[in-house]
Amino acid sequence: MNVVVVFAHPSADSFGQAICSTAVSALESSGHKVSLLALYQSHFTAAMSREEWLAYHSDQPAIDSTVQSHGELVRNADALIFIYPTWWSGLPSIMKGWLERVLVSGIAFHFNKKDKVRPSLKQVRHLVGVSTYGSPRTYIAIMNDNGRRIIMRALRVCTGWRTKRTWLGLYNIGNSTNEEREEFLQRVHKTLRELS
C-alpha cells in the first residue's frame, strides 16, 4: 500500500517522534511504501495565505508547490496516518493548517451537479490517528476530543463511509511510566504492521 504519514511535533526528541519512528518502521517492515510528511521539520506553513483563500473556490485551489506535492501524495494514498499530540482538546495548528491547505476541492472532495460535497479520496482504505494526551481519558471524553472527531469522522466525507478507522491514544502522558510508554509503542507497531 501507499501510506502517507502526517506527523506534527516540534521536538525531535519527543515521545511523538518515537511514535512516528515506530510507525514508519512497522509500515516499512510490512512492505508498504511510506511517505512521511513531518510538518514541523519541513517548516510547513500552517496559515492559508490571502492568495490561497482567493484561489480556494477556483479550479486550481492548490497554488503552493509544497501543497501541490502533498496533495499528489494524498491522491495516491491507500492509507492516511496522523500522529500528533493533542493540545487544547484538538490538533496542533500546523496539522489543522495542513488539512485546510492540502485537503481542498479537487484533491480531497468535489461538488456534484446539485452542489453537494462528494468524496474524491475513495481509494483511501484506512484512516489511522495516533495521539498523546496530557489529561486522563475521561476528561478528554468530556471535552469531545476534537482532533479525533476531525480525523475519524470529518475526513470520511473525503474518503467515503467504508474507510476503516483506527484510533490509538496514550492518555495522561505526563503521569505515564516508561513501561506504559513502551507498551503503547508496541501497540502502535503491532497495529500498523498488521495494516492491510
Q: Which residue carries 510538518 as its cell?
A: 39
Q: What residue ranges define each of the domains in the chain, with the CATH number in brackets?
A: 2-193 (3.40.50.360)
- The amino acid at 88: W
pLDDT the model gives residue 111? 85
**Element (DSSP H or E) covering residue 164:** strand 164-170
pLDDT in tens, 80-114: 999 999 999 999 999 999 999 999 998 999 888 88
pLDDT of 62 strictly over 90: no
pLDDT in tens, 105-151: 989 998 888 888 899 999 999 999 999 999 999 999 888 899 999 99
- Output the nine-digit C-alpha cell for 9: 511535533
Pairing of strands 126-132, 164-170: parallel
Phi, psi of 14 (to 5 degrees): -80, 165
Cβ atoms of 124 and 163 within 8 Å: the answer is yes
Cβ atoms of 166 and 172 within 8 Å: the answer is no
- Output the nine-digit C-alpha cell for 23: 510507525
Mean pLDDT, rounded, of the chain: 95
- Residue 124 CB-density burial (10 A; 0-12 exposed, 13-18 middle, 19+ buried): buried
Mean pLDDT along residues 4-10:
97
